């Protein structure tokens, strides 16, 4: 067994796979894979959904708006991360709450 040498190796948890043994687990990569499941909206779709949320308090429309913009949150967090902070996942989490 070798000891981790970099901060990234130390901070990356490992999961055990029956087929391949210990496999590194990267929470950021897992999150990015998850949010790719939500398609991007057209401008017209965003306007229609926002109208439904505002006028009818439509929770499904709000959910679609939120999930389809998660990639935008990641992009903004990555741009901001370069200048101010070291923990990208915390920044993404705060953006998702906002």
Q: Give residue limits of the domains in the chain.
A: 7-97
Give residue 50's pLDDT: 96
Give strand ranges (E) for 1-98: 14-17, 21-24
User: Is 91:80 a contact under the CB 8 Å cutoff?
Assistant: yes
Give residue 20's pLDDT: 61
10-residue mean pLDDT series, the chain (98 residues): 46 54 74 90 94 96 93 87 73 84
Under DSSP, the state recorded for 26 is -
Q: Which positions ≥6 away from 71 have C-beta within 8 Å?
A: 35, 36, 38, 40
Residue with tokens 């109208």: 51
Give residue 2's pLDDT: 45
Query: In 10 A of CB 16, how many CB atoms?
Result: 9
Distance CA 72, CA 37 (A): 14
Give residue 11's pLDDT: 46
Give residue 1's pLDDT: 40
pTM above 0.75, yes or no: no
Give residue 88's pLDDT: 83
């Amino acid at each position: 067994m070798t000891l981790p040498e970099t901060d990234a190796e130390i901070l990356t948890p490992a999961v055990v796979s029956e087929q391949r043994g210990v496999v590194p687990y990267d929470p950021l990569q897992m999150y990015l894979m998850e949010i790719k499941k939500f398609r991007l909206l057209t401008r017209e779709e965003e306007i229609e959904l926002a109208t439904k949320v505002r006028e009818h308090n439509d929770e499904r429309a709000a959910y679609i708006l939120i999930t389809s913009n998660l990639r935008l949150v990641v992009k903004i967090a990555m741009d901001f991360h370069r200048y101010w902070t070291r923990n990208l996942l915390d920044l993404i989490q705060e953006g998702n709450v906002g």
